[in-house]
Amino acid sequence: MNKKIITIISVIALLAAGNIFLSIKCFLNEKQVVQAQEQLKDQQMNKKMVTFLNLFIEKVLKADKEVSFDDRLKLETAVRDLGDEDVLLQWEKFTESTSEAQVQIEVKSLLSLIVEKINK
């Protein structure tokens, strides 16, 4: 009878230890998954930022004439798709600029902000 009780207690202890080990492993894996999801989200945001930045450079900075309505619409859509309030506010400052000097200041601020967001 003693051997049976010792065997049962040993099996229960081994099962409990196994459950504890697997629970810890599961928790650590879940933490890694959350980190990977955050990294993926950051990478997707950076890709959107770079896409907008390329579009801005091509349609605004390299333009030798006034930016067309379609291009302005593409830029507006791209900046809104970023979903970043700071960038959107800076974009609005840029689009509402009235003088050449103010436009230059706001462009520099917009580009700096986007680069800062990408490097974050």
98, pLDDT greater than 80: yes
Residue 82 contacts by C-beta under 8 Å, 6 or more apart in sequence?
45, 48, 49, 52, 88
Place of tokens 């791209």: 78
The tokens for 25 are 């492993």
pLDDT value for 2: 83
pLDDT value for 63: 87
Q: What's the rounded Cα separation, in Å, for the pair 111 and 97?
A: 15
Buried b (16+ CB within 10 A) or exposed e, 61-84: eeeeeeeeeeeeebbeebbeebeb
1, pLDDT greater than 80: no
Encode pLDDT of 39-61 as tens digits: 999 999 999 999 999 999 999 99
Q: Where are the domains of the chain?
A: 2-119
Q: What's the rounded Cα separation, in Å, for the pair 38 and 20?
A: 27
108, pLDDT greater than 90: yes
pLDDT value for 57: 94
pLDDT value for 5: 87
